[in-house]
Every structure is written in C-alpha cells, then in structure tokens.
Structure 1
C-alpha cells in the first residue's frame, strides 16, 4: 500500500511541533549507529582530576578517518555564581571537542580559555565549545551514596534524570572555533549537529566517571560504582531558551529536509501490509519503554503537565489495543489512524516515533538525507513573473490568510537580537523598545504584505524588476521560492502573535536532536535530557589498544 506523506498544513503547525517526540532518525541516534557500525574506539587519554573532582580529563574517540577528543575542565564554583542564564560568566565544568588528541601545550591553552567560554580565544582545532553546571544536590547525593557503598535513591534520580546540565553547546564557528565548512566533508560528521551530539555524548560519559571518581576518593575501599541500569538511565540535562527558537525559521531548506525525512519514514512504515513477530515485539517493547519514560517525566508547567498526564493515559489505552491492531491488515497505518481518531496530539506524535522503532532497515537511510547545502537555494529567480509568484503564493502560502494582521494581537511581538549577548530575544510591540530593529522572522505577516504589493504590480512584470522597486521583500521572495519545491520549509503559523509559545519551536528542534523529558520553565525556555538510556562509549566502542593491535 502507498501512503501519502502527511500534509505540511498538518505537520508544521505550532500545536503539533510542540508535541514532537524523538525518533530513531534523531541526530544522536544516527550518531550512535554510525559509531557502533564503524567500530569506533574509545579511551580516557588523560584523567588529572583531584579527590574533590577538580582538574581536567581527555576522552578520545577514534573514527575510521579522524580522531576527536573531549577536553573537560572541572573547576570550583561558588553557589551564588551558579546560574543557567546565558549571561553567566562561570560554570562548574567547561568543554572543548578537539580535532585530534591535544598535547600538553594545547591542554594548557584550553585550560586558560575554555573556562572563560565566549571570553576565551580558540582555534580551528576546537570544534565545539560547551559548559555545564551540576545538579548540585543530586550530584552530592550520588557521590555520598556511592562513597558509603550503596546505591543512590532511584526515585530521586528518576525525578531529575541527569547530574550535569549544559547551558550552551556551541558549534559552527562561534566565538572563533572551527567553521562548519572545515568538517562538513567528514563522513562521520556530515549529518546535522553530529559534532555537537558527539560532544554531549562524551560529556555524559565524563559526568558519570566524575561522580564515581569523587565517590571513590571519599569512600576508599568501601565505595562502589553506580548500578549499570541506574547509570544508563541518566542523561545530560540542557537548559535552552529563545536563542534556539529562530533556527526553524532561518534555515528553511534544512528544516524541510528534517521533516521530509521523518514524514517519508512514517509513510514507508504505514504502507507495510503486515507486521512480523519480531516487529510486533519491538513495537511493544518500545511502547513499554516510552510508558516508563513518561512515568518519569516531571514538569510543573501549567500547559505541559496536563499533557503529560493525558499522554500517560493515552499510551495505556494504546497498549490495551496494540496487539489486536498489529495482527490485522496494514497494522502500522491502523495504529496511526487509531491515534488520530481518539488520542491527543501529544500521543499521535508519540505513535509516529513508536511505529518507526521496529523498522531500522526500512528507514535509517533517511538519517543521511537530513543535511542541506543552503547556498544552493540562495539565488532568487528574478525571471519569474509577478503573476506566477502570486499563483505560487496561493498554493503554498494560503495558510497565511488565517491571520488578520489588522488585529494588534496578531502582531503583538517582535524578534530582535540582544546587543549585550548577540542572542535572539522576543519583545512586546508597543511596550518595549527595539521594534525598529526587528528580525525578519514574522514570515506570515511579511508574506501577507508581499502578496498585497504583488497584486498592485503589473502581472507580467519580472520579479527582478519588482524587487528593484521593493528591495525589502527580497528575503520573503527567496523564502517563497524555496518553499515551492520544499513544502516542509515553513512553520505554518504566526510567530509574532500574542498567543504564540516559543517553547513549541524549541521542542520541535530538540526532538530532532533526540531530546526527551521536555520541561518548560516558562513559555520561553525549557529543560530537557539528552542521551538518557543510551549506551556509553565503553558499551559500543572498542578499546583503542585493541583497535591498534588488530
């Protein structure tokens, strides 16, 4: 059976983007499959950490063609200086993903600069820059418990889910580190955010090694290590705010590739005629694992908390009918339709992730299609006529007509860049300064204005001539021309409306990273977990000495 991809008007709405779940196509999952499939090796190249947990470590992975090292620094931090805000100037830990294995001189250079983060100086050998703070009470509880020879409180671990929380993971040339072009041709890093995901994976390994090291120093012979199941349940936390939100608007071609890959995977699976015993078992196991994850998903957000409760009930209801649906014709389509007919949007998107899980052989290739050469669509087709562009707007941007921009509530906000931190921010129009420096992220409004201007222009006029008279529309014309061939390029909602929740944009992007346990702290920032329940380097990598001997 052939199943059509879900239409962009359904997929690219904020209410559904804000219910996204990680799938097997998520970037961290794709990275780990490559690490395991290519037989990467791993070793701790340096561990100069004192009894209190301060010092530096170097964790090294060797891919078929390149070697990468996480250089980690752990430093004392006064409680009053510990904050997740981007304006912080000191952190418990700081990191650089280094291209190769650093020698003593390079480690000294990084020690002088990495703890300063954006105030430091970096080179093209530095691929990713990151920092993180401890979940102080939980880190101390785990260290003390292990030092005394017993396991920490499992419920307390589950309620938080991580011992270290990153407050930034920078790549792509920021603050002087290597430009993306330097590593884009490397097979192991060609997928989106692969270098950043590699850094976070190694940060997780360092974090768990660090707490066990502190426990061993405190407890001596009576100390123990974390139970493997508890250890694996812990991820890396992350606090993410408005700085990430505009990404889904600024990279239309890349965003199309992400969503098109996921929707293609879903259509492939829904089109299968039957479910074999192995696939049924894998689905049921994934469903049970998701139910366990949701049971540990704690948030006090007044919007998300009720959604999590409903999701738990929906997954229980799905479990009650799953075996029956799996035994029938076109079972994966039946599961998805069952979700659409009676379950919440949160549960529908969970089912998207669940039905992909048993079908790696069918869909995993799509993870390698999610990168994009954005320069390839930068040039505007100036030969297109005004009439042709108006016709394309009607087809691809008809959704814009849902919004009445004469209503002040439809244009209540504006996006701008903070002069202090060079980070995106969201202002209240009419109540805050900065609207004169508004960023071009109000796509729906600007397309509406473009259409009005085009209707007043000669029908047969070339777009090039139109833009000579109206240069302010260049960016939106480029967007429209990209979306003509790439239907998932656009978030089909009003991103400056009074009711818009930026966390919906954040969750959509972070789900593609592979994040889970979304915990909004307001409508503008949230906390997540990365790599929870994922293998550690020692689980899927060979020891470097074994690789070198082979």
Structure 2
C-alpha cells in the first residue's frame, strides 16, 4: 500500500485552520473513556450530603485496576451578582478537588475549608486537580422546575445549550500547591495528556446531573421525575476558557508537535486505505448524521462563528449527497478528503478530518500513546552548532515569516505578559498600554527573524555557544529554532503579536484535542465550549459491552 504524505505544517499550523479544529477519536477525553471502559472502572457515591437546596458536599470514588481516585465536590450558596465566568471572580456555585485515594472525614473537612477558596486555599500532594463551576442559572432552574413537576425539560432548549454547569478553571500540574505532574506521570491511567483533568470533568458531569435530580426530588419527593437517560447522556460540562490557556501551544513546542503529528499520521494512514469496508461506511455515516444534528443545534452570538457554522451545515449536506459516489472511488477516504479540500470551508475540511478518523480505531488508536513528550531535552541548547547552520535552519523553518514587516505597528501591535494578580498570561496593546518591558518570549516569528539578522553578522563557522556568550538575549530564540528544526509541528505559522491575532483560534485548537465541542467565542479572547456531551456516563462504563469506538 502506497503511503500518503502528512499534511505539511505550513498547511496545518496556520491560525485560521487551527481556529476551525474539531475533536477526533484521538482527543484526550475519548482516550480516557476507552481506557475506563476497557478496564471497567467502577464509580460509587462514597458520600452524598446535600441539603434540600442542593448545598453541601459529595464524594465520588472511582476504582481503577491499580488505585482509587475521588472527586470531592462542594456546592455553596452564591448571590447572582457574584456569579461570573471571569477568572478574577472570587466565588463560585461549586468547587472540586480530584483526590488521590479515598479521603477520610478530616480530609473532607480540610478540603471544605479550602476548595471553595480556590487559588487562595491550601493544598497537599494528595490533591491532583482543583476546579470550580457555575450554574447556567436560567437553564438549571428550568430543568429543576420541570423535573419537580414530574416532567422532562424542553429538549431543544436543553440540547441547544448542552450543559447545566460551566467550569471556569480546571487546574492541574502543581498549580497552587497541588501535586506536581511528576507524581502521577508514571501511572498508566493518568500518563497521557490531561487525563487527570479529563477525569475530573467527567465526574463533575455526573455531579451536575445528580445535583439537579436531587433538588427536584427535594421540591416534590412524591412526584418528581429523574432526568431521562437520553438527556443525561446528551448533556456535558460547559467550560469558559480565556487568555490564560492561549500561549500553551507556544510554550510547549514538543508536546504540541506530538499532538499534531499523531493526528496527521492518523489522517495519512486512513487516507491510504485502499477501500472502505461496510462497517467503516456505516460508522462514518452514523458519525456524519450525529455531527449534522450537533451542527443544527450549534448556536453562537459571534458573527464569524455563526457564519462558519452555516457554511459547515451546507457543506455537510453536500457531503451527504456525494458520499456514495466518493466512497466508491479508489482510496475512498483520500478521495473524500480531497473533495473537502477542494470544495469546503476550513470548518468543514477539519470536520471531515474528524469524520474520516472515526471509523478506524483499530488503525489509529495506538497513536494516542504517542501524544506526550518529555520536554526537558527541549531546554538544552546545542552550543556546538555553527552560526551558519543555525541561520540556514532558521530561514528554512521560518520562511513563512519572511513577509512580515515588524517595523509596521500593526505587525507589532500586541505583547504577552503574565498578570501579577492571577499569575496567568494576558495580552497587552503595545502602543496603548504600559508593560511592554514585561513581555514574555512568545513573539516567535519576530524573534526568529531578529535572530537570523544577528547571525548574519557572525562568521558562519563561529559556534552558537560563542555567539550566546556575547549575545545571551538570543538564547530563547536559539533554543526554539533548534527545536522547530527537528519537530516541524512545534510552531504556529503566524504572527503571535499582530493586530489581527485572534487568541480564540489557538484556544480552539487546544480544546479540540481535549475533546471539546460547541465552540462559542464570546470575544476574540475567550470562548465557551462543552465537554463529554453525547459521551457515556462514567458510572455506566463498567457495564458497557465491549469498548466504545
């Protein structure tokens, strides 16, 4: 079978395409679901202590083959005027900790005093993830009211939103005193990217559904209904994500490369398949039908996303009409992809990538194990390289940046800095705001061109070590150039400080790898999404037949 080349970085790593990303079966939550189902993880309520208004504490224990993890959840009263998606909020409807093991009464009391404080609390290495969430107030109340009256909520309204609670932060990897990544990285169930965080959100989803059922029952013990199973499965967990997450793909080049390389390798493998079997055709058709349903409910007030969604719906209609003809061709999946590339919007092209991968778990799922990276070697500069070779590599890897004129104010309009208040990245306006002297090294294109110009003044045979002894201000750019030369998907091929930058494009690319759906930009700097909508409930995986695709 003749191989098909991977899509090159100059196609894949452009911001417009990143901002059209869709989740795939390699997404992190899908990897977690497959493992939990295969290993038959069991979930039980260790503690369910909520009052009639739904305030109190709950502990869910998850038993994996090797160890137990617990979601410790706290629900507290919150005035409407204090409810906010912004990271600067100081109070939330609910707060959570993913605990390593089963907490005793003293642990729960300690966490009850600290978890609602979030960043201001005190934690130990037994806490793996820290999170918080707010109710989608009107919808949550509408659902609780309907259930209390013995009725199911309005399905269109419910599925149009897709969640009852929306997280505003899910912290892991040692933040605010919780366990460092090194403490769990060797555990198979948490070794993959963001598996502890995905487990936390999966459990929060179950808490959300139990919470609304509990409140409805307390309002009408004799006549309340439980949320119907199909609606429970359809609902996910909302998330509001902003600038704090945006630089991640820039700051972690080796990890970024591993994610995109796995996805692009999977796509190339499937496109090279000589034919489409009946089972694969059926799985693709089912995935296409499901996506068309989701797109019909995909609402956004953002004019750009609303227009993209309309185009996506039209393109999916065209794909449905053309499907039999495309799948009858030699190398049918390649024919389908090329048809999308020639005729569809970027949104629909990337949706087709997701759809093409869906029927081919046996061919591609093992690539999930490659979506991690030890980034320690990436911090080592090869000082023995000569300046001529480095400049040649720079001009090659950053050829896409050659046309950017950084002397023009629009090309140099922004700067990234870390907020002293929240210790998270923010984006400043260079010519309107103070603080540019605190700029973080995220202007990759500008710095690469500057480094190339500096190297042009050096003898080609001079060593990089010699150069950096005299010009240490270029060390970060040298290190990055040497990484990008070896790992082609490590770099976003766009200007990260230009006036036209839309950080939500970077956010969407990362969140798609998590498994997010229903992207809803609220500005060019933050967006809302849904996680786990339509996926199995964690409490059901122990009894599911086989392994989910």
The reply to whether TM is greater than 0.5 is yes
Q: Corresponding residue for 2:452?
A: 451
For 1:36-51, list aligned pairs within 5 A.
36-51=37-52
Equivalent position of 1:132 in the other structure: 133
Hey, what does 1:534 align to over in structure 2?
Answer: 535
Query: How far off is 1:542 after superposition?
Result: 5.3
Partner Cα distance (2:425, 2:513) in 1: 21
Cα contact 2:162–2:234 (8 A) shared by 1? yes
1:376-416: CA deviation from partner (whole Å, max 9, x where unpaired):
22211000000111111122111110211121110011111
Q: Distance in 2 between matches of 1:492 and 1:224?
A: 52
* Contact map agreement 1:49 1:57 (CA 8 A) in 2: yes
Contact kept? 2:15, 2:505, Cα under 8 Å: yes
**1:128 counterpart SS class:** strand
In structure 1, what is the equivalent of residue 326 of structure 2?
Answer: 325
Please tell me whether the aligned partners of residues 42 and 542 of structure 1 are also in contact (alpha carbons under 8 angstroms): no
Q: State whether structure 2 residue 230 is matched by structure 1 residue 229.
A: yes
> In the TM superposition, what are the counterparts of 1:298-317 in structure 2 within 5 Å?
298-317=299-318
Q: What is the count of residue pairs matched by the alignment?
A: 543
User: Is 2:372 aligned against 1:371?
Assistant: yes
| Cα deviation code 1:282-313 (max 9, x no counterpart) | 00100010011111110010211100010001
Residue 339 (structure 1) aligns with: 340
Q: Distance in 2 between matches of 1:238 and 1:538?
A: 22
CA distance in 2, matches of 1:485, 1:409: 31
CA deviation digits over 1:129-155, x for unaligned, max 9?
000000011111111101111110111
Aligned to 2:243: 242
SS of corresponding position for 1:446: helix
Confirm or deny: 8 A CA contact 1:40 1:542 kept in the other structure.
no
- Provide, for residues 240-261 of structure 1, a one-character-per-residue CA deviation record: whole Å limited to 9, x for no partner: 0000000010000000000000
CA distance in 2, matches of 1:312, 1:220: 43
1:350 and 1:477 map into 2 onto residues whose CA distance is 36
Whole-angstrom CA distance in 2 between matches of 1:474 and 1:285: 51
Q: Is the 8 A contact 1:162 1:234 kept in 2?
A: yes
Deviates more, 1:58-67 or 1:506-515: 58-67
Residue pair 1:216, 1:223 contacting (<8 A) in 2 also: yes
- State the Cα deviation string for residues 332-354 of structure 1 (Å, max 9, x = none): 00000000000001100000000
Mapped partners of 1:496, 1:52: distance in 2: 48
What CA deviation, in whole Å up to 9, does each residue of 1:169-228 have, x standing for no partner?
Answer: 000000000001000000000100000000000000000011011111111121111111
Residue 385 of structure 2 aligns to a residue whose secondary structure is coil
Looking at structure 2, the residues matched to 394 and 120 of structure 1 have their Cα atoms a distance apart, in angstroms, of 48
Quote the Cα distance in structure 2 between the aligned partners of 1:542 and 1:49. 27
Q: Supply the distance in 2 between the matched residues of 1:317 and 1:177 (Cα, whole angstroms).
A: 49
Inter-partner Cα distance in structure 2 for 1:89 and 1:424: 19
- Match of 2:450, SS state, is helix
After superposition, where does 1:253-292 map in structure 2 within 5 Å? 253-292=254-293
Runs of 4 or more off by more than 3 Å in structure 1?
none
Q: Which residue of 2 aligns with 1:71?
A: 72
- Rounded to whole Å, the distance in 1 between the matches of 2:164 and 2:211 is 10
Distance 1:225 1:276 in 2: 41
Equivalents in 1 of 2:452, 2:469: separation in Å? 16
Alignment of 1:316-465 (within 5 A): 316-465=317-466
Query: Deviations 1:399-434 (Å, cap 9, x if unpaired)?
Result: 110211121110011111111111111111111011
**Partner Cα separation in structure 2 for residue 222 and residue 269 of structure 1:** 52
Q: 1:211 and 2:206 equivalent?
A: no
Give the aligned partner of residue 174 of structure 1: 175
Separation (CA, whole Å) in 2 of partners of 1:541 and 1:142: 28
SS of residue paired to 2:402: helix
- Structure 1 distance, partners of 2:395, 2:300, is 41
| Residue 88 of structure 2 corresponds to residue 90 of structure 1 | no
C-alpha contact (below 8 Å) 2:395/2:452 kept by paired residues? no
Counterpart CA distance in 1 for 2:65 and 2:377 is 30
C-alpha deviation, 1:327, in angstroms:
2.0
Question: Does the aligned pair in 1 maintain the 2:495–2:501 contact within 8 Å?
Answer: yes
In structure 1, the gaps of 5 or more residues are 544-550
The alignment partner of 2:96 has SS state of: strand
The DSSP-based 3-state class of the residue aligned with 1:168 is: strand
SS in structure 2 opposite 1:52? coil
CA distance in structure 1 between the aligned counterparts of 2:397 and 2:437, rounded to whole angstroms: 29
Partner SS for 2:393 = helix
Distance 1:60 1:305 in 2: 40
Give how far 1:39 is off.
1.6
Contact kept, 8 Å, 1:150 with 1:224, in 2: the verdict is yes
Aligned CA RMSD, in angstroms, stands at 0.9
CA contact (8 A) 2:37 2:541 kept: yes
Q: Secondary structure at the match of 2:530?
A: strand
Distance 2:529 2:130 in 1: 19
Instruction: Give the TM-score taking structure 1 as reference length.
Output: 0.98
